[in-house]
Structures are given as C-alpha cells and as structure tokens.
A and B are shown apart, each in its own frame.
Chain A
Amino acid sequence: KAGVTQTPRYLIKTRGQQVTLSCSPISGHRSVSWYQQTPGQGLQFLFEYFSETQRNKGNFPGRFSGRQFSNSRSEMNVSTLELGDSALYLCASGDGTSGYEQYFGPGTRLTVT
C-alpha cells in the first residue's frame, strides 16, 4: 500500500501571499489530519477531516483553512502568509475511528520570506 503523499515537498512564498498544500491519504483511510511543526512550538494540531467534515480544529487563526474531497484527499490553505508560518506542514491519515493509528506523510516544507 502506498503511504501518505504530500505535494509539494518544498515551497517558498513571500509575505502576504497565499498557499495551498495537498495531501493524499493511504488508500482506504477516510480521516486526514494536518499538523504544523516548528522548532519552537513542536507539533501542533491544525484540523482533522473525516468524510469531508471537519471534526476538530486547533488553535490557529482563521487564515488557516482546509477541506476534504469525496476521495478523501485533503488540501489546506494559508492566506496572507506571515514569516511565522514558515514550518513543516504534516498530513496524517487514519481510518477515523476514535483512538486510531495515524500515519504521517513526509511533509511540505514552507518557507515564507
């Protein structure tokens, strides 16, 4: 089975721009979660989607948004980029039942200049 894939792997953007990241979960997985990883804050939960519905959201500003498609693929969008948004954005997939294994993709490294 193929693992979680994320595109693009690397991205450089300028302050004020917006960005869209993509995640394809493991085949058969219906849950996709997004996390932000930075050296200072560690791994922080952004949101989780299951069957196109957001079930939980972390403490991030409204500039961070996401969605999930009927094929379980997910995208996250960050608008009006700030320097502090530079991070590794990780996507994880799982079968979506409560207390379930989550498998991570390689991440998208976003640099905001």
Chain B
Amino acid sequence: GESVGLHLPTLSVQEGDNSIINCAYSNSASDYFIWYKQESGKGPQFIIDIRSNMDKRQGQRVTVLLNKTVKHLSLQIAATQPGDSAVYFCAENMNDYKLSFGAGTTVTVRA
C-alpha cells in the first residue's frame, strides 16, 4: 500500500453537499484503479473503477477522475447522505493480480 495514498485522513461534509476524496499514487505503471467504501464491521464494498486509458467515469451519484500527469485520483460523491459515512479507500493494480491500498479517508456526514 505504500504507493497509494490519500491526501486527507478525515473529511467532514454537510448532508446534501458534494464530497471530494483525493488519492495520490506513485507508480506510473498502475493501469487500473478502484474505489472502495468500508463501513464499520464490514468488508470493503466496491464503488467504482477506472482504467488508465480513461480520465473520468461516472456511476450513480459518484464520479471518479484520473489525472495521470500528476498521478492523482479523486472520488466525487454528489448530494452526500448520512449513509455515505464510512472509510473510503483507493486501490491500484499494476497488472500483477494484486491491489495496493491507500491508508483511507474517513468521511463523516453532518446532519
């Protein structure tokens, strides 16, 4: 997990606002990235992925942006809800059948 890191360990967001969670990676050979959400007492839940040949990918209320020039990944959550409170991890894959995880960002949604 040393090559993947998140800029902020915690993020507090007002309910209804948009959240942006950032991740920096150091290995330019990484070609696949995943965002996971982990709630207390549960395993990581797949949110969205993106391949290195893409800059942006959208899902339901979530968007992942990839900037290969500065090796930066972000997850945007629209209209943040209380159920979005969790720890968010970015993970990278270098075509070697393993994922390397960042340290995680704890998102707290304020009512």
Contact = CB atoms under 8 A, between A and B. Distances in A.
B43 A106 contact: yes
B56 to A, nearest CB: 17
A50 B97 CA distance: 9
Interface stretch (B11-19, B44-52, B69-77): B44-52
Given A33-B98, A43-B1, A98-B97, A107 B32 contact: no
A98 B1 CA distance: 19
B84 interface: no
Given A42-B1, A44-B1, A56 B46 contact: no
Contact of B98 (A45, A90, A104, A107): A45
A65 interface: no
Given A43-B101, A44-B1, A100-B32, 15 more contacts: A33-B97, A33-B98, A35-B99, A42-B102, A43-B1, A43-B99, A44-B101, A45-B98, A50-B97, A56-B98, A96-B97, A99-B51, A99-B95, A102-B34, A102-B46
18 contacts: A33-B99, A35-B101, A42-B102, A42-B103, A43-B44, A48-B97, A56-B96, A58-B98, A90-B43, A99-B32, A99-B95, A100-B32, A101-B46, A102-B46, A104-B36, A104-B45, A104-B46, A105-B43
A64 interface: no
B98 A99 contact: no
Interface in A75-107: 90, 92, 96, 98-107
B34 A101 contact: yes
A90 B100 CA distance: 14
Contacts of A44: 1, 101
Contacts of B103: 42
Contacts of A4: 43
A31 interface: yes
B74 to A, nearest CB: 19
Interface in B21-63: 31-32, 34, 36, 41-46, 49, 51
A45 B104 CA distance: 15
